[in-house]
Structures are given as structure tokens and as C-alpha cells.
Amino acid sequence: MAREKSKRRSRGRRSPLAAAVLIGVGLLMTGGIYAGASAAVAATDETPAATQASPEEGEKLFQANCATCHGLNLEGTDNGPSLNGVGALAVEFQVSTGRMPMQMQGPQADQKPVQFTDEQIQSMAQYVESVAPGPAYPSERVLDGEGDVSHGAELFRINCAMCHNVAAAGGALTQGKFAPDIMDTSALNIYAAMVTGPQNMPVFNNMNLTEDDKRDIISALLYQQEMQAPGGFTLGSLGPVSEGLFIWIFGIGGLIAVAVWITAKSN
């Protein structure tokens, strides 16, 4: 009888690891609940002032991230040009596309992941505008994409296609520079590029292209971004270069392969 009681007791005992497992599960659940509650409280307690852009905040960000190359007073240095007169739009274009700050000196600043939030970009733009005013933000009408698409496409072919390609797919320039692909560029950044002239791009003021002309060009590009390619695979929209390369490699290469196969079969 004593043996049967001891067996029953041993069967009822829990493993020594059970307590540790239960404690671990409890800690994980407690931590998860705490993290979720903290995030919810932070989201509800966030005030507009915490995310509102301001020139004061922009000055701090500029001094920490841009002044090394552009100078504390936007006067420029040996490593970067002066920003006098560039205004808020230039900051919007360069920083919101990740071109600035540059990682290293090169032929031109290329796009990369954006390092700042929209509020931080607006703060830096407001600061630069307050010190060195430049081209102003356009009205919503200019960016609405409701302009004359046909006229805008014609203006783009005349003024922009020689560098950016007629399909806006970009193209090579001299000395390692290039005109970027603008098929994913926003309406605001298209306008900013036209009025600030980044990199090798000329400035198109109202004497060159009126506000209505700019609106038409933006409308044409937005339409092209959304348009489906009627001819099938675009091959990068690079024109005869990529098309000719495709024919040489796959077209003539395929014919040679078939000829070799027929010869081998006949032998």
C-alpha cells in the first residue's frame, strides 16, 4: 500500500522546468501587454506641437546634418555650394528624394533612402527659406494633374526629352553624370526641379515656361506614370539601345541556336 501511494504521489509531481516555463510565459505576456498599452498611450497623447514643423527645429537639424558642407550661415564651403537664394523648394527636392545629405563626393548626388520625416524636411525648408528666400511653393492647381496632357507632352519633348528620354526613363550625360528616371517622381518634386535646376538641369522660370506650361508638363508626366504600356514589355523604355541589344542577344542568338541544332540533327 505504501508503494502504491508513493507511485501516485510521484505521478502527480510536476517537472522542475514547468515553473520556469510558466514564469517565462507570464513575463512575455506582461511585456507584450505593457508594450501595446504604451504605444496606444503615446499615440493618443501625441500633440500637434510635437510634429509641427518650425524654422527653429530646422536650424538645429541643418546645423547637425548640413552645415559641415554648406556652412553654418548657408555660405557654402569647399565641400558644398552656397544655399543663398535656393529657398524651401530646393530643400524639399534634395532632402525628400534622399539626395541630401550626400554620403560621399561624386559627379552628382544620387537618390537613396530618405533620412528624415516629412516634418523634419519641412522644418529645414522653413529655416532655409527664412535665411535665403527662393522659389515659392506652387498652388494646388499647378500640381493637380488636370492640365493639357497633349501640350505638356509636346513641351516635355522640346525641353526635357534630350536628357530624360522621351519616355522619362532617364539617360546618360557626360563625365559620369546622368538625367534620372522621373517615372516615380511626385508632382511637387517635378515642379521643384523645374524652378530650382538641381544638378545639371537648367532653371525654367516663367520666362521660359509659364505656370500653365509647367502644369501641363506635370500633367503629362503623371499621365505617363499611370499609363499602361500598349506595346508589352518596355525594356526599360530606353529606346533603340535596349531594343537593339535585345534583338542581337535573343533574336539573332536564337536563330544561331536553331541553325546549330538543325545542323547537329542532320549530322
pLDDT of the residue at 238: 59
pLDDT of 86-95, one tens digit each? 889 999 999 9
Quickly count: other Cβ atoms within 10 Å of residue 190's Cβ: 19
Domain-by-domain residue ranges, the chain?
50-135, 138-229
d(Cα 187, Cα 221) in Å, to the nearest integer?
A: 9
Multiple choice CATH, 138-229, 1.20.5.510, 1.10.760.10, 3.40.50.1980, 3.90.1640.10? 1.10.760.10
Give the integer Cα–Cα distance in Å for 223 and 228.
10
Domains 50-135 and 138-229 share a fold: yes
In this structure, what C-alpha cell is assigned to residue 88?
524651401
Q: Mean pLDDT, consecutive 10-residue segments, the chain of 267 residues? A: 51 60 70 66 45 86 91 88 89 91 82 91 93 89 94 94 84 84 90 91 91 95 80 60 72 84 79
All three cell numbers of 196 = 530650382
Terminal alpha carbon distance of the chain: 93
- The C-alpha cell at 155 is 513641351
How confident is the model at residue 50, as a pLDDT?
Answer: 46
- Tell me the three cell numbers of residue 172: 546618360
pLDDT given at position 257? 84
Q: Indicate the burial class of 223 (C-beta count within 10 angstroms; 0-12, 13-18, 19 or more).
A: middle
CB 73 within 8 A of CB 131: yes
CATH number of the domain at 50-135, please? 1.10.760.10
H helices present in 53-148, as ranges? 55-65, 67-70, 87-96, 118-131
Residues with Cβ < 8 Å from 195, sequence gap 6 or more? 89, 135, 203, 204, 205, 214
Grid coordinates belonging to 228 = 499602361
